[in-house]
Structure 1
Amino acid sequence: MHVLGPDGEAKFWLEPEIELAKNHQLSDIQLSKVKKIVEDHRDELISAWDSYFRN
């Protein structure tokens, strides 16, 4: 999953576990906040991904 912000961007893998794939200029605090949001909504994000790319 790609995350874009005004200060930079990051990419997280959602499966098999949530993992930071790359980071470009997001601070540790920003990454922590984004990771928490991804963790809280992981199932919804995977479902949306599946609906978009597998249908």
Structure 2
Amino acid sequence: MSPSVFKEKGYRFYFLSNEEERIHVHVTCEDGEAKFWLEPAVALADSHNLNQKKLREIRKIVEEHKDEIISHWRKHFSGR
């Protein structure tokens, strides 16, 4: 199961249900995918087939929605 948190500018931001406990978000688009840590600070964890321009754009979106993503994470994983 991979619930979507939101979609913006052609990117889908989502979680994978069977993942590590450190808060992060996955992002996909037609060109590739990435994973960003949210704590202690927003940081790129991994990416595939995305250029630096797209990664900067995604990071900016993650930073703008950080509180929302963390809230969804806590709600989704509260039963752990």
TM-score by length of 2: 0.66
Paired residue secondary structure (1:12)? strand
Give the structure, 1 or 2, with the largest relative contact order (CA under 8 Å, sep 6 or more).
1
2:49 maps to 1:18: no
Paired residue secondary structure (1:15)? coil
What percentage of residue pairs aligned between the two structures are identical?
Answer: 51
For residues 30-49 of structure 1, what are the structure 2 equivalents within 5 Å?
30-49=54-73
Number of positions where the alignment pairs a residue of Structure 1 with one of Structure 2: 55
- Structure 1: state its 5+ residue gaps: none
The structure with more helix, counted as a fraction of residues:
1
- Structure 2: state its 5+ residue gaps: 1-24
Alpha-carbon separation, structure 1, partners of 2:45 and 2:30: 19
Alpha-carbon separation, structure 2, partners of 1:3 and 1:44: 15
